[in-house]
Amino acid sequence: MAKHNYVALYGQVIKDPIIYKDENTGEYKRGICPITIIRGVRDFGNNIERIKYDTPTIMTGNPSLVAAMVSWRAGDMVEVKGAVTTKDVIKSTTCKHCNKKNKRKGTVVFVNPIYLSKRETGVSKEKALELLKERCEISNQVTIIGTLCREPAGFVTNKGLSITTYQLAVNRKYRIKEDAEEIRTDFPWVKSYGSIAENDLNFLKKGTRVFIDGMIQTRNIERKQVCEFCGNEYDWNDTAFEIIPYATEYLSNFYTQEEIEKREEEENKKAIQSVFSESDIEMPSDPPSLEGLPHYDN
């Protein structure tokens, strides 16, 4: 099976990175840093006209890469190459009613780098925007091969835009030293728009293998939690990390055009049967009387 999972980013450091060291040896253990990137101008069906920023997190446990990240400061422009990576974690939230902490299982998605480089130092937001616009086509790139691990879900917005979401199982290309050896797969989500979404909903199914040329999208989302202490429900903020396709190639185990047409034909038959089924039509128990109606001779 091909192991393709490649990310190329160019962006601005939002804040100084968080660096962890081994207390005994002083060796770098982990570096974490979010960066601001900008989307390319290619039309993938979303019809986005205004500038869109995204803020993926870069995280590594490679000591040499952490050492390179140590010199980063807020405002620096950096280049990153790596892979989309997922990790199961326990997330902690605070109840807004009783102020106690609740824990729940969750997933974090980040870019695990294989290369880091500082391009410009101490750049203002205005200058950063100019640089990002100039280099928008290299600011946010993802190419990935994966297999759908669940059925795709689709819907249409109030403005008529089709959206399809699905989750991929992606063979890990680069082993992460601190992860268990048996962890060899990542599970990112994909969100497609417009005509791509319509095709995805028609052709894709659990087990379909796809190749995606796209970008990273990050967004804030509001989740709900029932407090295990007071029983009240409260909202908490989380971050979604999604892959948005510019183009998707269906590699194997997808619906054929013939299968799609047959499925549509069966769905149409079911719809007609539900409308005209005898159980939905009330028939009179006795025929209507003809008495009193006008009668015409031929």
Query: Is residue 47 left, alpha or beta, with left meaning phi > 0 and alpha meaning psi from -120 to 50?
Result: left
Domains of the chain, by residue range, sit at 5-266
Strand partners, 25: none
Output the pLDDT for position 176.
Answer: 75
Domain 5-266 sits in CATH at: 2.40.50.140
| Alpha carbons 22 and 27: distance in angstroms, whole number | 5
| Alpha carbons 34 and 162: distance in angstroms, whole number | 30
Name the residue among 54, 110, 57 with its Cα closest to residue 84: 110
Tokens read off for 296: 């015409």
Output the pLDDT for position 296.
Answer: 47
Q: Are 160 and 195 in contact (CB under 8 A)?
A: no
Distances (CA, A) of 132 to 11, 138, 140, 218, 260: 7, 9, 10, 17, 42
| Alpha carbons 22 and 204: distance in angstroms, whole number | 46
Helix ranges restricted to H, 135-253:
136-139, 194-203
Output the pLDDT for position 45.
Answer: 46
Output the pLDDT for position 46.
Answer: 46
Strand partners, 111: 58, 84
| Alpha carbons 58 and 12: distance in angstroms, whole number | 12
| Alpha carbons 11 and 40: distance in angstroms, whole number | 13
> pLDDT (tens digit, 0 to 9) for every residue of the chain, 298 residues total?
568 999 999 999 999 999 999 989 999 999 999 999 998 766 544 444 568 899 999 999 999 999 999 999 999 999 999 999 999 999 999 999 999 999 999 999 999 999 999 999 999 999 999 999 999 989 999 999 999 999 999 999 999 999 999 999 999 977 777 777 778 899 999 999 999 999 999 999 999 999 999 999 999 999 999 999 999 999 999 999 999 999 999 999 999 999 999 988 888 888 888 776 655 555 555 555 555 545 544 4
Is 260 strand, coil or helix?
Answer: helix
| Alpha carbons 26 and 68: distance in angstroms, whole number | 15
Output the pLDDT for position 289.
Answer: 53
Output the pLDDT for position 271.
Answer: 80
Output the pLDDT for position 280.
Answer: 54
Name the pTM for this structure. 0.86
| Alpha carbons 127 and 41: distance in angstroms, whole number | 19
DSSP state of 159: T
